[in-house]
Each structure stands twice: as structure tokens, then as C-alpha cells.
Amino acid sequence: MGRITLDKVTKSFGEVQVIPPLDLTIDEGEFVVFVGPSGCGKSTLLRLIAGLEDITSGQIRIDRQDATHVPPAKRGLAMVFQSYALYPHMSVRKNIAFPLKMAKMDPAERDRRVDYAAKVLNLTDYMDRRPGQLSGGQRQRVAIGRAIVREPAAFLFDEPLSNLDAALRVNMRLEISELHNTLKTTMIYVTHDQVEAMTMADKIVVLHAGRIEQVGSPLELYHTPRNTFVAGFIGSPK
């Protein structure tokens, strides 16, 4: 579960092609980081995978099935939004349970999943609070909890920590990496922050103007950047 393949995927907004033909394979259980400067197409690419935007041409496969025209809710993927997407009037428990309630899941199974998410995220003692009574890091964990309960084939994160202060960001980075170790589910993580990419990724995809400049492990990119763009962005100086 969680293998995602993009085959000659393109995306245009009107006349403007922001993603030229792009091929990429994300393996089961991998932690993949899309990194690149602002405007390079990271969010667009993630939204295409999530199904929140239609691709203009090409094919997306999820676990070998053609997902190109599958609506977002049926792709089995969970997008983690920034914590401000929580419902302020609902308890933590209700916020986390919300997607399952919408899906009319049996309450016993719903409770089991919510309790599991609370446990892996260390939120067990905070379940009756409202988001306004939590720290920024706890709120972000609630937002992640809402994805975990769906038991997705992959988690998609779009700069989830950009609203947090520097110290908390470092902390949350570690927490998300630990979560990946626990769940072993595919994660795609978008950031413009090289340090985040280098410390979290199994595989880094460096994007520049909608194109993939290089794909590799943090060490590969650091030691053998393919070009000056990658070298300037994360590689060692040559």
C-alpha cells in the first residue's frame, strides 16, 4: 500500500504550463520530500496527487490502479492541513473523529481509531479540550490525528509547520519522523526548507519551475548534485 506513480503528468492553468511532463515513482512506505523555491510547483504537484486539482495530461497510479479520474475522497490518501483548519468549537476528540463521522463509520471502530491516533500522538490527556486550549504543537498533532484515523495509503503534507516558531518546528519535525517510523506509511512532505528536507527524507525530489532537477537520498544530493541548481540549493559546494 502507498505506491504512487506519476506517468508523463502535466498541469496547465489556462495557457500556462506549470508542470511540464513529469515522471515519478514513490515507493511503499517511503518518506519523500518535495523541495524547491516558492512558486516551483510543489503544492500543485501534491494537489494533483491528492486529486484536488485535475491533471491536464498523463496518468496517476496508486497501488497499481489508475487513479487519474478518481475523486479525492476515494484515493485513499490523507492531506494534512495546517492546524488552523481545526474546528474551534469542537473538542479534540470530535475534531479527530470528524472524517469518520462524515463517512458514517460504526462508532466502535471510530472510537478504536481515534484512541489509537490519540495514543501515537500523545494527545490522550487532551481529548476533551478545544483547539484554543492547546499549544501550537498540540494543535498540529490534532490536525495529523484527523489524517491518521482514515488509515490512508499515504499522508500528504503541504508545509505543515510553516506557521510554527523555529523551536517548535524542530520538535514537530522529529515527531513526524517518529510517526513515520511507527506507522511505516508512505508520506509525501512539501517544504521550501532545505534543512527539513535533509533531516526528514528517505528520498528528496528537487523541483525547479515545475521540473524535477534531481531525485535522490539526502546524502546523494549532498555529495553528487547533478547541476548547479541542486548544488546551490542543497548540495555541497564544488
Which grid coordinates belong to 159? Answer: 508545509
87 is a contact residue toward ligand ADP (CB under 6 A) = no
For residue 237, what are the contacts with CB-CB under 8 A and spacing of at least 6?
231
Query: Using CB atoms within 10 A of its CB, is residue 93 exposed (0-12), middle (13-18) or buried (19+)?
Result: buried
Query: Quick one: which segment of 9-17, 37-45, 61-69, 125-133 binds Mg ion (CB under 5 A)?
Result: 37-45
Q: Which stretch binds ligand ADP (CB under 6 A): 39-47, 132-140, 165-173, 214-222?
A: 39-47
* Backbone dihedral angles phi then psi of residue 203, each to the nearest 5 degrees: -135, 130
CB closer to Mg ion, 39 vs 232: 39
Q: Which of 156, 152, 151, 154 is nearest to 110 (CA)?
A: 151
Interface with Mg ion, residue 82, by CB under 5 A: no
Is position 42 an interface residue for ligand ADP (rule: CB under 6 A)? Answer: yes
Pick 11 or 139: Cβ nearer ligand ADP: 11
**CB 117 within 8 Å of CB 165:** no
Among ligand ADP, Mg ion, none, the one that 39 touches (CB under a kind-dependent 5 to 8 A) is ligand ADP
Among 10, 25, 43, 224, binds ligand ADP (CB under 6 A): 43
Query: By C-alpha distance, which of 75, 82, 35, 85 is closest to 52?
Result: 75
Q: Using the rule CB under 6 A, is 44 a contact of ligand ADP?
A: yes
CB 178 within 8 A of CB 185: no
> Among positive and negative, which fits the CA dihedral 214, 219, 222, 225?
negative
* Identity at 142, one-letter amino acid code: V
Compare residues 39 and 232 and give the one whose CB is closer to ligand ADP: 39
In whole angstroms, give the CA distance from residue 86 to residue 77: 19
Counting contacts by CB under 5 A, is residue 43 touching Mg ion?
yes
83 binds ligand ADP (CB under 6 A): no
Per CB under 6 A, the list member of 8, 13, 119, 162 interacting with ligand ADP is 13
* Residues contributing to the site for Mg ion (CB under 5 A): 43
* Residues contributing to the site for ligand ADP (CB under 6 A): 13, 18, 36, 38-44
